[in-house]
Amino acid sequence: MSEATATALPPPEPLRIGLVSISDRASSGVYEDKGLPALQDWMARALHNPVTWVTRLIPDEQEGISATLRELVDVERCDLVLTTGGTGPAPRDVTPEATLAVADKVMPGFGEQMRQISLRFVPTAILSRQVAVIRGRALILNLPGQPRSIAETLEGLPDAQPPCPGIFAAVPYCIDLIGGPYIETRESVVSAFRPKTARRPQRT
């Protein structure tokens, strides 16, 4: 892209992102929450868009999780909501159930790919139950609880053999299709995939 073309590009569209860390112990102050900083750090590195962050740190209570997701989408008008924590098989792990309870549509491919990425490291990845759903014009994604796993899930494993795409490559086009803002990613972190007819000039 020439310098003149880059200069002529309009500024990136503003984006509202909800971040939810779900943990009984972190929300009660037993230990420091690491999920929200990890999510915000990765997203800030990955996006050109100016972001308004709406963060929540809440316990593993199913109705409370559902209420938080409804608030972030219906009241705060978030375009994308990312949760971390509460997706395993333990009795208090109820994030997937709470997420499905607020869904208009279920997007199973995101959860399938998250488990594929994690299976490159540990066989217990099959115990994870992350889901993704659409509510209104927002995409809600359940992510793992560990900061390193969050980054691997979003970014993928480009140096693996064979390479394993991260889930965020599909997020911008999904947001396009449901009527949200045009998300622009930094190629050095993650390359968003769109059909040629849906692409705008790329920012450097």
**Is 24 inside a domain boundary?**
yes
Confidence category of residue 161, pLDDT binned at 50, 70, 90: confident
For the stretch 25-34, pLDDT in tens is: 888 888 889 8
CATH number of the domain residue 156 falls in: 3.40.980.10
Does residue 3 surpass a pLDDT of 50? no
108 part of a folded domain: yes
Of the pLDDT bands very low, low, confident and very high (cuts 50, 70, 90), residue 8 is: confident
How is residue 86 written in tokens? 């509460």
The verdict on residue 60 lying in a domain is yes
Give whole-number Cα distances, 124 to 108, 113, 128, in Å.
Answer: 19, 15, 8
Q: 136: which residues sit within 8 A by CB, 6+ positions away? A: 73, 74, 104
Tell me whether residue 157 is in a domain: yes
Distances (CA, A) of 39 to 31, 90, 124: 18, 23, 23
Q: How far is Cα 22 from Cα 10, in angstroms, rounded to an integer? A: 37
Q: Which residue has the tokens 């959860």?
A: 111
- Of the chain, the percentage scoring pLDDT greater than 90 comes to 81
Neighbours of 151 (CB within 10 A): 20
Lowest-pLDDT choice from 44-48, 50-54, 163-167: 163-167
Q: Provide the domain limits for residue 98.
A: 3-198
Q: Does 203 reside within a domain?
A: no
Q: Is residue 204 part of a domain?
A: no
Residue 158 forms part of a structural domain: yes
DSSP 8-state symbol, 161: S
Q: What confidence tier does 159 reach under pLDDT thresholds 50, 70, 90? A: confident
* Domain count within the chain: 1
